[in-house]
Structures are given as C-alpha cells and as structure tokens.
C-alpha cells in the first residue's frame, strides 16, 4: 500500500505564507486571488500547519478551477487524492451558502416597479428576464401603493402543482411588510396544473390573508405571451 507524502516546510515559512494570503483576502479585493490561492486558503481550514500546495495541485489537475471544484459531487471529491471528508464537508457548506445568496439576489428587484394596473403588469412581464423561461410560478409581494417589494419565482412540483403553500406566502408577506400579493402562473402546457388549481390557490390565500388584511391583487395566467387576469374574469 502506497502512502502519498506531503512535504513539510519550516513552520515559520508556512505561517508567513498563510498570513500573507489571509491578509490579501481581507485587505484586498478577493477577486485578485487566484483559484490556486483560494483553494489553498480553504484547505488551511482543515489542514492547519501543513503545506497544502501539493493538495491544491492535485485538486486543480482534476477539477481545473474553483467552479469545477464547487460543482463536483461529494463522491468525486472523496475519490480525489488530497481531499478529506472534512474538506468535502466544507465544500458542501460553500455550495449551500452560494445557493442561498443566489436565491436572495433572485428575489430582490433591481428597479422600482409599480404594478397597480393590468397594463403595468403586462409591461413588466414583457420587459423582465424573470419571464424568459416558462413553467414558473411567480409570487410578487407589493406595498400599499402596488410597488414591488420582492419578486420570488419557483418551479412547479414534479406531480404538477404549486410548491409554496399559501400560508408560507402569508408568512413572507408579514416579514416583508407586504400588503398585497400578485400571482403569475406561467405554464407552457396543461401538465403544469389542473384547471382549478389557480383559482383554488387564490381562494386559500385569501382565506388566510384576510386575518392580516393581506389582499390578492390579481392572479395572471400566462401562456406563450398571452395572459388572462382572474380579477378581470371575476374569479377573485
């Protein structure tokens, strides 16, 4: 059985190098660090006191860069020389944090939009990238003047249906101080939902939201650029 030996440098040289890297990370733009240096800093968290650069070399040979490392499966990580279970768990934590940041950024509108009228809603749908891909359910939280506070969107369930239950919408509305909700169901086919689900969802949301004066502004059914308003149809 062969054992991979990782060379050791004198402690003061390793420590000085590690301090310089951490200082650059804190005091300079993190974008200035190379992929090799970023991976090196990550490895220091679980291999303190070791010259980790041989491990970095093996990781980059297999995954090429930080993106490749973060996109690797746990099985791929654990079968890579130089990667321990502790380091693989740290990578999993990094991926979870990145996903949360992405979700938060996705929900924050970059501009101030007012959606009080059907014409304004139609214009918003045409202009925004949120609607470039079909088969999404959009929950838009509005203030009392119909300005957007947050725009959340998600896929439909594998069985067909909405993932976020109405009571969760109400909980988020309370946290965000939203007073009105605009729903947009964007389906490319009838397999997304049953015909009654959009109306039933609104009815359940209204039944819960009435306790905190939360109003459903409208529920738009969007299909290939054409849309119907449940409010206009008299179904709200």
Could you tell me the residue range of the domain that residue 50 belongs to? Answer: 11-107
Q: Categorize the per-residue pLDDT at 1 as very low, low, confident or very high, splitting at 50, 70 and 90.
A: very low
The pLDDT assigned to 12 comes to 42
Shared domain check, 36 and 16 = yes
pLDDT at 104 > cutoff 70:
no
pLDDT at 32 > cutoff 80:
no
* Domain final position from 107, 131, 164: 107
Edge-to-edge strand ranges of the sheet holding 226-229: 148-155, 136-142, 180-186, 215-223, 226-229
Q: What is the CATH number of the domain that holds 31?
A: 1.10.150
Residue 112 within a domain: no
Q: Measure the CA–CA gap between 236 and 232, rounded to whole angstroms.
A: 8
Q: What is the dihedral of CA 170, 162, 107, 214, to 10 degrees?
A: -20
- In whole numbers, what is the pLDDT of the chain averaged over residues? 84
Shared domain check, 223 and 123 = yes
Shared domain check, 182 and 86 = no
pLDDT at 204 > cutoff 90:
yes
Mean pLDDT of 202-213: 94
The whole-model pTM stands at 0.56
Q: Determine how β-strand 226-229 pairs with β-strand 215-223.
A: antiparallel
Total domains present in the chain: 2
Q: Measure the CA–CA gap between 230 and 100, rounded to whole angstroms.
A: 33
* Domain final position from 107, 129, 147: 107
Give pLDDT tens digits for 6-26: 445 454 445 677 778 777 777
Mean pLDDT of 24-40: 77
* Domain final position from 79, 107, 135: 107
Shared domain check, 122 and 91 = no
Shared domain check, 216 and 154 = yes
Percent of the chain past pLDDT 70, that is, above it, reads 86
Shared domain check, 43 and 77 = yes
Range among 18-22, 96-100, 164-168 with highest mean pLDDT value? 164-168
Tell me which residue has tokens 């005091």: 27
Shared domain check, 38 and 98 = yes
Residue 47 within a domain: yes
Shared domain check, 224 and 124 = yes
Residue 234 within a domain: no
Q: What is the CATH number of the domain that holds 182?
A: 3.40.140.10
Shared domain check, 157 and 204 = yes
Distances (CA, A) of 33 to 27, 102, 150, 164: 12, 22, 34, 40
Q: Measure the CA–CA gap between 173 and 142, rounded to whole angstroms.
A: 9
Shared domain check, 77 and 138 = no
Give pLDDT tens digits for 38-82: 999 899 888 877 888 899 999 999 999 988 898 888 889 999 988
The pLDDT assigned to 14 comes to 52
Shared domain check, 214 and 123 = yes
Shared domain check, 214 and 158 = yes
């Amino acid at each position: 059985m062969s054992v991979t030996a990782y060379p050791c440098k004198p402690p003061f040289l390793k420590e000085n190098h590690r301090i310089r890297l951490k200082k650059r990370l804190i005091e300079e733009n993190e974008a200035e660090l190379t992929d090799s240096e970023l991976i090196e800093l990550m490895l220091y968290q679980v291999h303190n006191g070791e010259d980790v650069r041989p491990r970095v070399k093996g990781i980059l040979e297999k995954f090429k860069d930080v993106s490749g490392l973060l996109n690797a499966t746990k099985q791929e990580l654990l079968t890579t020389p130089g990667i321990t279970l502790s380091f693989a768990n740290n990578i999993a934590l990094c991926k979870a944090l990145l996903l949360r940041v992405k979700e938060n950024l996705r929900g924050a509108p970059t501009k101030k939009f007012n959606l009080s009228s059907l014409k304004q809603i139609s214009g918003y749908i045409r202009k925004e990238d949120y609607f470039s891909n079909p088969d999404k359910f959009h929950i838009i939280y509005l203030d009392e003047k119909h300005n957007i506070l947050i725009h959340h969107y998600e896929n439909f369930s594998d069985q067909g249906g909405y993932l976020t239950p109405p009571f969760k919408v109400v909980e988020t509305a309370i946290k965000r101080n939203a007073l009105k909700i605009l729903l947009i169901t964007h389906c490319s086919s009838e397999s997304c939902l049953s015909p009654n689900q959009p109306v039933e969802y609104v009815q359940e949301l209204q039944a819960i939201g009435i306790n905190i004066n939360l109003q459903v502004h409208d529920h738009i059914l969007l299909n290939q650029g054409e849309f119907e308003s449940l409010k206009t149809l008299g179904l709200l």
